[in-house]
Every structure is written in structure tokens, then in C-alpha cells.
A and B are shown apart, each in its own frame.
Chain A
Amino acid sequence: MNAKNHNSTRFLKKLGSGVITFITAGMALFWSIPIVWALIASFRPANDAINRGDVWFSSSLSVENYIRAWSLAPFGQYYINTVIIVLMILAVQLVTIVLAGFVFANYKFFGKRWLFFFILLQMMIPTSALLAPNFATIRWLGIFDTRLAIAIPYFGSAFGTFLMRQAFLEVPRDLVDAGIMDGCTWWQLILNVYLPPSVPALVAFGLSSATWHWNEFLWPLIITNSDKSRPLTAGLVRFTQLGEIGAQWALLSAATLMVIAPLFIMFLIFQKRFIQSFLHSGLK
């Protein structure tokens, strides 16, 4: 793999590695300014408001903003809600996509092409476009303002099905045949033959699904109206709309960082895995 790196960037090296590094560093710095600023601003003492020309460090650091943000809205409950929603979606998705991916990879059957296309429809029409009619469905199901209502439209995943099918197709046929010879039932085939080599694909999907649903905003905003089901993103937006007073940047930054923190820290720790799982996910 390193040899390839070497080749694809040979022309860059001719330009001078140093210059490139300098440019890269400059752009990386530029790209990081927002998050760095938010971090700094969030530790400003509340009595030292951000003023024109004085937007970075204050004379002292303070965690006041975090305490106030925490007291202004039930972030603890929001965390719980978000985590439950993300895990609920992930748990159901892993079952549905593995089963569907397995069927499409392993069997030939009547209507296969059509069914595959039918499921892919979900990839073409993102759920957000359908929020009005889906709202009606949720009302009909009687689960308005629950965590389940936020999660349920995502229980089936065309993208996941597609990804798992690709991953399962990579599994050598010999292994599958051997499994059948051993008398494995279908679920044993999945568990012992198909799944083990497909874990990276599953992880890749899991990470992107978790990220996506952690960050989702519009649907939860519509389908929740109380703190018992509201996730972090919908909770955060309340802060940006503090109506009659001016937005307080330090407070907002603190609230924003609290929302970001868990996923972001996870991302920092598992950064390599995060990125590698994308590199791995069969996009060749």
C-alpha cells in the first residue's frame, strides 16, 4: 500500500515536500478555526462578554458556561435519549441489513432484481424528504413524541443492505459450500461463514449510521415535543433561539461542545479505525 502512496504523490514530491506540508498545515489550521474558537470561547467567564475585537482568550478561564448551559436545559436527559435512539437504530439495522444482505448475496429467487430495486428506492428518496407523510404515519401508529418514533423510519436501511451484500459477495464460495457440507443452517451460515470476514464492513456501516443519527436534527425536531424524547441536536437549537436577548456566544459554545463531546471524543480515540473503516467499506 505504501508503494501506491508513493506513486500517486510523486508529482507532489517534486514540488517540494516542505511547501506541500506548509500548504496542508495552513489549510488544516484554517479548517480547524471554528472548533478551536468554540473551545476557547466556551471557557470565557460570563461577566467578560465577547466584544468586538476581543473574541479569543479572556483573562481567565471558567467552566461557568458549562454549568449554566447544563442548568438551562436537561442535557443529561438529552444524552440518554440520543444514545438510546442511536443504539436502537443500530441494533435493529444490524439485524435487518445482515439478513437482507445475506439473502441478496446467497440466494437466487423470484423477483430478486425487483426487490433489490424496491429496497434501493430508500437510497434515492431520503427520509427527510418524506417528513410530512411520515409524520402522519407516526400519528397513526400512536407513537408521537417517543424515541421509537425518531428511530423507526431508519430500521430498514437500503445503504446497509447494499453494503452487506457487497461484503458477503466477497466471501469465497468454497467457504460457503464447506459450511453447507457441515450442515450449517442459514443462521449458522451467516454467523460463522459470512459475518466474520465482513466485520469491517459492518463496523463501517455502524459508525456512519451512529454518526448520522447522533447528528440528525429535522426529524427529531418535528416528531418530539418534550424533553423525555428530545435528542441533543433538537435540544441545542433551543439555545440558539433565546428570543428576546442577544445570543450569548460563550454559553452557546459551551452548549455546542457538550453536544459534540461524546461522539467527538470517541472519534478522536478511534480516529484511525473510523477512517480505516471507511477506506475498507468496499468502495473500489
Chain B
Amino acid sequence: MRSRSARKQFNPLVYILLAPTAIFVAVFTVWPVLLSLYQSFFLQRMNIVRFREPTFIGLGNYITLFTDQYFLQVIKNTFSYIIGTVPISILLGFLFALLVNRKLRGIGLFRLAFFHPMVLPMVSAATIWLFFFTPDYGLFNTALGFLGYSGSENWTGNPNLALLSVIIVAIWKNSGYYMIFYLAGIQNLPSDVYEAAALDGANGWQVLWRITFPLLRRTTVFITTIAFIDAFRTVDHIFVLTGGGPSRSSTVLLFELWQQRFEYQNIGISAAITVIFVIILLAFTITNFIVSERKEG
């Protein structure tokens, strides 16, 4: 495949054709990163008249952030949120894929049931779930009671549960999406491997763990990447469900960024948060890339 394009002389056409994409990426991805980096070294707060003009303060904004208990809690919340959503929704996606990967009348309906949350706007999903978390009305608690749980009712008001309620909605919404990718992966698996395994008398679990799961490794890496990025960039449901509370227990990085920039009008701090955000994202994707490439080789 690699040798397919023989023409490697200078050809202005390719740059012209690439220009639209490259320009949009430059203007809306690269430039904003550079701008944030620059602004993050300045004190600038739009809601205080004398701080409206930027003043250079070096690493001041970063020092402020990393000595602020509250910001450290936001970082912690962010990682709790990611750890809470990513593995479980991927596992559920895999489970759903196994469950619906069958020839059965009406199986489409089941796929639909698992997949449909993906086409709902997150704000709509959260609006519906808000009701389910309401104390005393208790649809969610009733369901949990059915499963034997009789603990706290007060989901979005309890600092230990607020983040969890946000996580639950994310899992509900995303699992079906990941199911689709696994379904695609499973249906593309080579059948001869399974025939061989069957001849060897491997049982179901062995087949699942020794063959299916390893063969789907690339799918899993891919899903992990998008799940991770998705966990970082989706805060819509937090707006609806908890507003980041109580006691800021469900505030994650992007929500904090929004609040600093558009509520507190603090340009310097929000730029610094943007930079930290970008660094975390790059660190993750690059690590992920290296890990998957190495195992590949």
C-alpha cells in the first residue's frame, strides 16, 4: 500500500487542497493554544476595572491554581469522573455487543434500546435523569431498591453522590455508542480461529478471554481514546444536574474553565486552565499512541 503513490515531486496542488483543513485547524486548534499560553502569563480580570488591561505576572496564575485547594479538588474530581465513566462504559459496551450479536427476531429492538441514548443531546438526557435522581420521587431509588440497595436517596445533593450521579448519566449515554464499535469488531473477527478453538474443545469463557478479547484489542484502544476525550469534553449534564455542586463536589476541569472565563471573567486564570487542560490531553493521547504502537510492533 505504502508505495502506491509514486509521484513525489513538488506539486503545489496538494498544498492548495490541504489548505482549507489546515487553515481551520491552525485558526481553531493551534492558534488558541498559543494564545492561551501567552495569556496565561498575565493577570487580566474583566470584572475589575483596574485589572482589565493585562499585566505580566509570569507563572503567577499557575502558582495560584496549584496552591488552591479547590483547584486541586477539581483535578481530582476530573480524574474520578474519568475513572468512573471510561472503564465501566467500555465494559458495558462490550457486554451489550456480546448480548446483541445474535440472530434473533427483534434483536434490532434491543440494539436500539442500548444505542438510542447516543443520539440524544446530553442536556436532554440529563434533564430526564434529573427527575430520576429527585429524592422521594425515587424512580432511580426504586430501581436500586429492587436490586437490594436501600442507601441514600439524595443523589444530586449529597457531595459523595453528586459526581456519581453525573457519572451514571454518562455511562447510560455512552455505553451503547461503544457497543457499536465492539459489534463492528466482533463481526469482523476471522471465523477460522473460532473453528480451531471449537475443535480444541475450548469452552465459552476461554474463547472469550483468549480469543475474542485479545483480537479486539485495537478496537479497545480506539474506544478508550475516544471515551477518554469524550469524558474530558462533556460537561453538559453537569450544567443541568448539579451545577458543579454541592460544595463543588461535581465540578470538573472544563466546567471550572467555563466558570472562570464566563462567570468570573478571569481571563488569565482561564487561559492557564486551558493550557493545563491541553497538556493533560496531549500527555494522554501521546502515551496512548506510544503504548499501542509498541505492542503493535
Contact, chains A and B (beta carbon distance below 8 A)? yes
**A interface residues (Cβ-Cβ under 8 A, vs B):** 1-12, 14-15, 17, 20-21, 23-25, 27-35, 37-38, 41, 50, 52, 55, 95-97, 99-100, 102-103, 105-110, 115, 118-119, 121-137, 152-153, 155-158, 161, 169, 173, 176, 186, 211, 214-218, 222, 232-233, 236-237, 239-240, 247, 249, 252-253, 256, 259-260, 263-264, 267-268, 271-272, 275, 278-281, 283-284
**Is B248 interfacial (CB-CB < 8 Å)?**
no
What are 25 of the A-B contact pairs (CB < 8 Å)? A5-B103, A10-B194, A10-B198, A11-B208, A12-B204, A24-B99, A27-B113, A38-B128, A115-B22, A119-B21, A122-B29, A124-B285, A128-B254, A132-B261, A133-B31, A155-B24, A218-B239, A232-B121, A252-B131, A264-B116, A267-B116, A278-B180, A279-B180, A280-B184, A284-B218
Residue of A nearest to B222 (CB): A283
Contacts of B137 in A (CB 8 A): 50, 52, 55
Quick one: which of A6, A103, A131, A275 contacts B17, CB cutoff 8 A?
A: A103
B18 near A100: Cβ-Cβ < 8 Å: yes
Contacting pair B110 A125 (CB below 8 A)? no
B59 contacts the other chain (Cβ, under 8 Å)? no
Residue numbers in B under 8 Å from A24 (CB-CB): 99-100, 110
Complex contact B281–A156 (CB within 8 A): no
Contacts of A156 in B (CB 8 A): 20-25, 28
A119 in contact with B14 (CB, 8 Å): no
In angstroms, Cα B138 to Cα A132, docked, is 38
B212 proximal to A (CB < 8 A): yes
With A8-B212, A27-B99, A109-B14 already in contact, the answer to whether A127 and B128 are too (CB < 8 A) is: no
Q: Nearest 7 pairs between A and B by C-beta?
A: A11-B204, A156-B24, A7-B194, A133-B32, A28-B113, A215-B121, A108-B8
Dominant secondary structure of chain A at its interface with chain B:
helix
Checking B35, B136, B233, B281 against A133 with a beta-carbon cut-off of 8 angstroms, the contacting residue is B35
A109-B10, A279-B180 are contacts. A133–B274 as well, Cβ < 8 Å? yes
Q: A8-B189, A24-B100 are in contact. Are A125 and B120 (CB under 8 A)?
A: no
**Which of the residues A9, A126, A186 comes within 8 Å of B229, measured between beta carbons?**
A126
A259 touches B121 (CB 8 A): yes
Task: Say yes or no: A124 contacts B128, CB within 8 Å.
Answer: no
Among A41, A132, A176, A253, the residue within 8 A (CB) of B271 is A132
CB pair A28 B110 closer than 8 Å? yes
* Residues of chain A within 8 A of B111, CB atoms compared: 271, 275
Instruction: Give 6 new A-B contacts, CB below 8 A, not counting A7-B189, A105-B5.
Output: A24-B100, A27-B113, A109-B11, A109-B15, A133-B31, A272-B108
Tell me whether B180 and A275 are in contact (CB under 8 A).
yes
Bound-complex Cα distance A279 to B187 (A):
8
Q: How far is the CB of A78 from chain B (nearest CB, A)?
A: 12
A residues in contact with B27, CB < 8 Å: 137
Given contacts A24-B100, A134-B32, whether A271 and B180 have CB atoms under 8 Å apart is: no
Q: Residues of B contacting A3 with CB < 8 Å?
A: 191
Across-interface contacts of B115 in A (CB, < 8 A): 275
Taken together as a complex, chains A and B put the C-alpha atoms of A105 and B2 apart, in Å, by 10
B271–A119 contact, CB under 8 A? Answer: no
B17 touches A278 (CB 8 A): no
A100 near B281: Cβ-Cβ < 8 Å: no
- B188 within 8 Å of A by Cβ? yes
Q: Is B48 part of the binding interface, using a Cβ–Cβ cutoff of 8 Å?
A: no
Contact of B172 among A31, A38, A217, A253 (CB under 8 A): A31
Residue of A nearest to B10 (CB): A110
